[in-house]
Structure formats: C-alpha cells, structure tokens
Amino acid sequence: MNRNFDGTTQTQAARGYIVSARTLLSAQGLVVDRGARKVLRGVDFSISEGEVVGLLGVNGSGKSTLLESLAGLHPMAAGIVSRHDRGIEAIVRDASGQRGDICGFGLCLQSEGMCGDETVYERVRGACRVAGRADNPATLQQIISDWGLEHRAEDRICKLSGGLRRRVAVVSALAPIVLNPEPSVILLDEPSEGLDESSRGLLLRWLRSLAGRGHAILVATHDPELVTACDRLLIISESEGLSNQEQESIVDSAHLPEPSGAELHRELAAWAWRLERRNPIDTIGRGVPALVALLLAFTLSTDVVRSSENHDLLAALVLTPAFVTAIVAPALIKRLAEERTGDWWRAMTGASSRVWFSIMGVSLILPLPIIYLSWFVLADDAGSAMDSDVMLWLWLFAFVIIDLSAAASALHLMVSDLSRASAVAGILLQLVLIWPFLQMTSALASIMTDGMSFELALGEPIADIGIAWLTVVLLWAMAVIIPED
C-alpha cells in the first residue's frame, strides 16, 4: 500500500499510473573511468515516473559513481546522460564534455554537501529556491517540523550532530520535490546512513508518497528496509555490470514555472554573500596580506623611490597591496570543498559552475580602498596638481584589479577541480597575472609623470590599462572554459 504524507492510503487505481509512464532520466552507453580503472562500462539506464529504483552493490562497485554521473558530476569516456522531465530532452552530460544542469532535481550525496556556516532553515530554503520552487515559509517550516528539526532551524549546521546533519541533507533533497507538482527526479546516495529508526521510517513513507505523485527516485543503499520500498533493483558488480531485478510495481497542483538561470545564480550569490557576512574569512584573509604588503611597501618607499626618476617603482609599490588582495585564494574554495558543497552546486549549475564560482570569489570590496590608502601612505606631495590627476584615475586601476581577482579566482578553481589538487603548485599559475600588473604599473607611472592621456598608442596610459584589462579577461575566459576534471 502507498500512503500520502497525511497517512491516507492511495487507491488501487493509482497503481496503473506508471503503465504508460514517461522516462524522466536516462543514460546510454555510459563509460566512466576513475584513474586507470573502468568503473562503469557501457551502462544503459532509465527511470520513469512513479518508480523507486534501488541501486545495490558492494562498497567500491560503482554505485556512487553511477548516481553522481547521472547528476553530471563525472566526465565520461563514452555515453550520454539525458533528462526528459521538462517537456524536452536535455543533455545533463556527454562524452564530449557538453554539460547541462539538474536544476529541479532532488540530490543527496553520500557526503552532506552543505557548508557548516549555513543554518538549517537557510539550507532547506536555498535548496527549494535553486530548484525554482515557490518560497513558502509556512510550508518549509512544516517540512522542517515533520522531520523533527524545528528546534534547530536557526542553528548552524556545524553545530549539529552527524545524525541531524544527515537528516538536513535528506530534507534538502526531498523538500524541492514535495513542492514540485510536476514529475521530477530524486537522486539519493545512502540517505538512511546515520538516521535514527524514526527518521528511517519517515524516509520510507515519504519516498512511497512521492513515487505515488509520479516522481522518480533512484536510491543507492545497503539498507534492507529501503530495498523493500523499491519497485526495481539495479545490482551493480565489477564483473557483470548492471543487472535488473523487478519487484512489485507500485505506483492536482497548479503548474509552477521552471527555474530560470537568473534565479539559480541569484541564490548562489545570496548564499556566498550570506556566509561571508556571517563569517568574513574572505575579507580578513585578503585584507591582512594586503596590509602587510602596504607596510613593507612603506618601508621601501624612501625619498629616492618617491623622486620623479623612480615613478615606475613607486607605481608598483602603490598597486602591490591591491594586487595581493586579488591573487589570494578566495575563501569560497574552502567553503565549496567542505563536505562536497561544491559538487552539489556544480550539479545544479551545470556547465556554468566555474564561471559563477569565479565571480563569487572576486575581491569586490577591498581593491578600491586599498589602492587609495596605498597612495595616501606612499605618495609624496599629495597636494600637487599631478597628485590630483592621479587621484582622479586611481578607480580605473581598482576596476582592472577587481577583474584580475576574477581571473585569479578562476585559476584557483581550475586547480581545485583537479583530482590531485594538492599535488599542483597552484600559486605558480598566478605568475601569468604579473603581465597585466606590469601594464598597470606602466600606466600609473605615465600618469604620475605626464598626466592622463587618452591617445590609443602603445605606452600611453589608457592603452596600457586597456591591454591589462583585455589580458585579464582572456586569462579568465581560458580558466573557465578548460573542462572540469
């Protein structure tokens, strides 16, 4: 028997719902390598409306790899993963590197995929917003209450026990689907791991209820209780690949608009800003090295350096503290690495993930005040006409350094995406940013010597600034289009 969330039993007529059910997610000829080993070999898989499919196998057999590949998180040697839940067929990922997104799906990874500085309510609400579901506080509070989390709703996730964190991760995967009247997909990797007995029972009831509403659920599990709730089992083994085992087949809200890219990226930006405001480690992590660089520059800025014959050196000293703020690794990288939070966001944002992560990692606040502070501390004769001309155009250098920060962030992200990121001296990649820095130094020295010029000739300030900016944009573009993994 299926039961709804209110405990009422569905009619037997509802069991015929999936007879002609449409496929919501499919994979054809999937081959995934992890190092020298082929974990998945020519896998064909599909899941339809109203199905609960169990994915079984011993540890290391490839259950998580298959589930995460269906979410677009792993590169493929061959094959394609497609979604069919929005009226059209769309690519999630293929062997050529083309990527879409799973925005609108429910996703629970084996790791929680949550940052510790989020609160419970923020996490559940954010998962619903990313999926494009209406932000209904009363409904969200009811869902949180049903799962026994109402007394911890405003607590940070880092303060929860392992069992409660797992409960939040599962609720974050289920809540967007509860609010979705259209059939969608839920991907769950060991959702019952760490849950207490009452939570496991609640999970079983919710899975059957969601399947009864036409949603498709794929669950990788070792839990015998979850296995009994499945309509179909996929048994994965290293020797035989996937094999199907059928079980008993079990199977009106207004249409809500599909999530738009703008809504998704707005929520990503809000998430990043919320965490930084709560725990400003990015601002502190960038500001402290900049101030140290400023103190060192002040020590070096003798009267000889301030003389008209040494404007190049003085310009370099003025720009260095702001440059330091730009090339420091953003705190966002550590936040994305925490419990695989970045993988959850990568699945949702698809091919644009590194683009938006690099934008979120920009040092937006510090470059402008740091440049002006450096000028006041290091420059001499602040009241002269020449100094007034420099003051008028310092904001232009701050603008380029903000863009340079995006390029540096993209380079850091590119290294962090590698399978052995710690084995790569990522800081060495930042050396390519020296070239635009030297161009800006030349431009500032020219303004200090001869004033601002708008002639588009090599060696003129506006031309040097333009070349620096174009170089930064090209470096950023190359870093974000290089395939992940």
Instruction: Give me the count of residues in the chain.
Output: 485
- Cα–chain-centroid distance for residue 201? 31
Q: For residues 362 and 328, is the Cβ–Cβ distance under 8 A?
A: no
- Tens of pLDDT along the chain (485 residues) come to 333 333 333 333 333 443 457 899 999 999 998 766 778 888 899 999 999 999 998 888 889 999 999 999 988 999 999 998 877 788 999 998 888 888 889 999 999 899 999 999 999 999 998 888 767 888 899 999 999 999 999 999 999 999 999 999 999 999 999 988 889 999 999 999 999 999 999 999 999 999 999 999 999 999 999 999 899 999 887 655 555 554 433 223 333 344 556 677 888 889 999 999 999 999 999 999 999 999 998 888 775 555 656 788 889 999 999 999 999 989 999 999 898 999 999 998 888 888 999 999 999 889 999 999 999 888 765 444 456 678 889 999 999 999 999 999 999 888 887 665 554 555 677 788 999 999 999 999 998 888 888 888 888 899 999 999 999 999 999 888 876 65
C-alpha span between 34 and 32 (Å, rounded): 7
3-state DSSP helix/strand/coil % of the chain, to nearest 5: 55, 15, 30
The helix (H) or strand (E) run that includes residue 232 is strand 232-237
Confidence at residue 34, expressed as pLDDT on a 0 to 100 scale: 75
The token pair at 350 is 């698809």
Mapping DSSP to helix (H, G, I), strand (E, B) and coil, where does residue 220 land?
Answer: strand
Domains of the chain are 14-246 (3.40.50.300), 279-481 (no CATH)
Grouping H, G, I as helix, E, B as strand and the rest as coil, residue 36 is coil
pLDDT of residue 422: 56
DSSP letter for each residue of 304-366: HHHSGGGHHHHHHHHHHHHHHHHHSPPHHHHHHHGGGHHHHHHHHHGGGHHHHHHHHT---SS
Tokens of 362: 């920009």
Which secondary-structure segment (H or E) carries 189? strand 185-189
Provide the token pair at 386: 């020449």
pLDDT of residue 392: 87
Q: What burial class does residue 53 get, using C-beta atoms within 10 Å of its C-beta: 0-12 exposed, 13-18 middle, 19+ buried? A: buried
SS3 114: coil
pLDDT value at position 379?
78
Q: How many CB atoms lie within 10 A of CB 309?
A: 9
Residue 209 contacts residue 2 (beta carbons within 8 Å): yes
Residues in Cβ contact with 355 at an 8 Å cutoff, skipping those fewer than 6 apart: 480
3-state secondary structure of 90: strand
